Amino acid sequence: MRTLTLILVLSVSLAFAGALYTDAPADLGQVVPGGGYTCLPPPSNDILWENPFEFALCTNGYNSSDGYRCADDFVLDDDATIEGFTCWSIFTGGHPQPFEVTVWVDSGGAPGAEQWSETVSDITDTDTGYTGWGYQMFQTDMVLDSSFDLSAGTYWVEFFWTSSYFYWLVENGGNLRQNGAPQGVSGFFAINGFEGEPDTIPPIVSGMDPDDGEIDVPLDSNIVFHCVDEAHSIDLDTIDFTARDTSLQSDRALGLGSPNRTIDGDLDVDDADPVDVVCTFDPTDDFTMGDTITNTVAAGLADSKGNEMADDFVWVFDVEGAVTTTTWGAIKAVEF
């Protein structure tokens, strides 16, 4: 364990104040140990902006919990999708979870209009191998439930632990504000995500079994399909599936009826892979010989970004003994 040694004695009363100690000198005589510490960003993300932790530069820790709130500014050179945040911290009282994280646009060198806010509970703490003021120093990675988009520009972010106590590690010089007041320091933190135009591609339906146009399907079959998105999780609340028997029976073919019998059953949704959700429809009763089953996933199927499938996705299969029809899917199946 590498240790940061102070020449000052920290009193118990100061330990839970706005900063770890007051009147921090610019040079605490810190030395970077051989081998050092390497930032470990979430592997699925790129670092869009960072002021990475450096042990030799760390001068203090500012409380952002228990009535204290700290915010610091960052710059995006390009439009980006934000997937998560990283900061470096000291905390007491256990694993700091959840965090309230808020982003504002910059307004004259201070937080302006709020752009985004979320309570984040997917948090990983990595011991940096350093200690300061008698506490371990950690890298705290926060992965968002739903990503969000920001245009190029200057922003402010606040990390607030809903319990006590969380200290955001800082270096001298910068714009960090605690409860709105400038502190003359900069927080060690990073913004993780992806540069480029925001994702506007909706999810698709694929991997149907039975497939579109399939014939002689067994009477006791289930219906399986996948809801798939390239980048973001499927919004499970938007999955709306219906199966109907649309057999062209002789009396109906003469115009004596309109075939549209809804098939009763249960839909099981497996979201173990949130970008490839497997849906299995189990009919209450077996199909009837000769049925033609028309399946519909309704328009509005969406990902976590709110990108929606514009049209119904429809596919048709024939059960054993069905008369061959020329009815095909309104949207052709995509090979899975």
Q: What is the mean pLDDT of residues 67-90?
A: 93
Q: Which of 172, 195, 218 is the last residue of a domain?
A: 195
pLDDT, one tens digit per residue, over 106-140 is 999 999 999 999 999 888 888 888 888 888 888 88
| Domains of the chain: total | 2
State whether 26 and 77 are in the same domain: yes
Residue 323 belongs to some domain of the structure: no
Residue 171 above 70 pLDDT? yes
* Structural domain boundaries enclosing 282: 204-318
Are the beta carbons of 41 and 47 closer than 8 angstroms?
A: yes
State whether 211 and 191 are in the same domain: no
Local structure of 263: helix, strand or coil: coil
At residue 208, φ and ψ (nearest 5 deg) are -75, 140
pLDDT, one tens digit per residue, over 31-69 is 333 455 665 555 456 889 999 998 889 999 999 998 899
The region, left, alpha or beta by phi > 0 then psi within -120 to 50, assigned to residue 23 is: left
Closest CA to 176 of 291, 24, 40, 7: 24
Peptide bond into 98 cis (omega under 30): yes
CATH code of residue 260: 2.60.40.1220
State whether 166 and 56 are in the same domain: yes
Residue 331 belongs to some domain of the structure: no
State whether 265 and 313 are in the same domain: yes
Residue 325 belongs to some domain of the structure: no
Residue 145 belongs to some domain of the structure: yes
The residue type of 132 is G
CB within 8 A of 67, min separation 6: which ones?
none
Residue 54 belongs to some domain of the structure: yes
> Which residues is 130 bridged to in the sheet?
2
CA 103, 109, 112, 115 dihedral sign is negative
The sheet with strand 153-161 has its strands ordered as 111-120, 99-106, 153-161, 70-76, 177-178, 181-182
Residue 330 belongs to some domain of the structure: no
Local structure of 192: helix, strand or coil: strand
User: What span, in angstroms and rounded, lies between the C-alpha atoms of 261 and 275?
Assistant: 32
Q: Which of 160, 175, 195 is the last residue of a domain?
A: 195
CB within 8 A of 273, min separation 6: which ones?
none
State whether 56 and 140 are in the same domain: yes
Closest CA to 83 of 106, 116, 126, 54: 116
User: What span, in angstroms and rounded, lies between the C-alpha atoms of 50 and 174?
Assistant: 14
State whether 48 and 177 are in the same domain: yes
Residue in the structure block whose two tokens are 């201070």: 110
Closest CA to 108 of 141, 138, 73: 73
pLDDT, one tens digit per residue, over 252-277 is 444 444 457 899 999 999 999 988 99
Q: What is the mean pLDDT of residues 183-187?
A: 96
State whether 48 and 111 are in the same domain: yes
Local structure of 196: helix, strand or coil: coil
Q: Which of 143, 168, 195 is the last residue of a domain?
A: 195
Local structure of 15: helix, strand or coil: helix
Residue 175 belongs to some domain of the structure: yes
State whether 225 and 191 are in the same domain: no
Q: Dihedral angle at the C-alpha atoms of 45, 46, 48, 53, nearest 10 degrees?
A: 90
Residue 201 corresponds to which tokens in the numbers above?
Answer: 């591609």
Residue 208 belongs to some domain of the structure: yes
State whether 159 and 17 are in the same domain: yes
State whether 211 and 189 are in the same domain: no
Peptide bond into 21 cis (omega under 30): no
State whether 39 and 83 are in the same domain: yes
In this prediction, residue 75 has a pLDDT band, given cuts at 50, 70 and 90, of: very high
**How far from each other are the two terminal CA atoms of the chain, in whole angstroms?**
50
Mean pLDDT of the chain: 81
In this prediction, residue 247 has a pLDDT band, given cuts at 50, 70 and 90, of: confident
State whether 208 and 189 are in the same domain: no
